[in-house]
Amino acid sequence: MVSCVSDTARTLGCRDGAAATHLKLISLLVIFFTSVSGISSPVLLARYFQGKPVYDKAILIIKCFAAGVILSTSLVHVLPEAFSALSDCHVASRHPWKDFPFAGLLTLLGALLALFVDLTASSHVEHSHNPSGDYLPVGTQDGTVGKKVGSNEEMLKLKQKLVSQVLEIGIIFHSVIIGVTMGMSQNQCTIRPLVAALAFHQIFEGMGLGGCIAQAGFSMRTVAYMCFMFSVTTPMGIVLGMVVFSVTGYDDGSRNALIMEGVLGSLSSGILIYMALVDLIAVDFFHNKLMGSRKWLKKASFIALVLGSTSMSILALWA
Amino acid at 240: L
Whether the pLDDT of residue 141 is over 50: the answer is no
What's the confidence (pLDDT) of residue 16?
72
What's the confidence (pLDDT) of residue 140?
45
- Distance between CA 114 and CA 263 in Å, rounded? 16
Residue (of 171, 208, 197, 181) closest to 314 by Cα position: 197
State mean pLDDT over 255-282.
85
Q: Which of 111-120, 126-135, 164-173, 240-249 has the lowest mean pLDDT?
A: 126-135
Q: Read off the pLDDT band of 108 (50, 70, 90).
A: very high
Helix extents (H) in 50-187: 55-72, 79-86, 89-92, 102-129, 144-184
Cα-based distances in Å from 108 to 16, 102, 104, 175, 268: 39, 10, 6, 20, 10
State mean pLDDT over 57-80.
86
Whether the pLDDT of residue 218 is over 90: the answer is no
Whether the pLDDT of residue 98 is over 70: the answer is yes
Whether the pLDDT of residue 263 is over 90: the answer is no
- Distance between CA 152 and CA 306 in Å, rounded? 30
What's the confidence (pLDDT) of residue 92?
81
What's the confidence (pLDDT) of residue 2?
47
Percent of the chain with pLDDT over 70: 84
Cβ proximity of 80 and 104 under 8 Å: no
Mean confidence (pLDDT) of the chain: 80
What's the confidence (pLDDT) of residue 3?
52
Q: How far is CA 287 from the centre of its chain?
A: 23
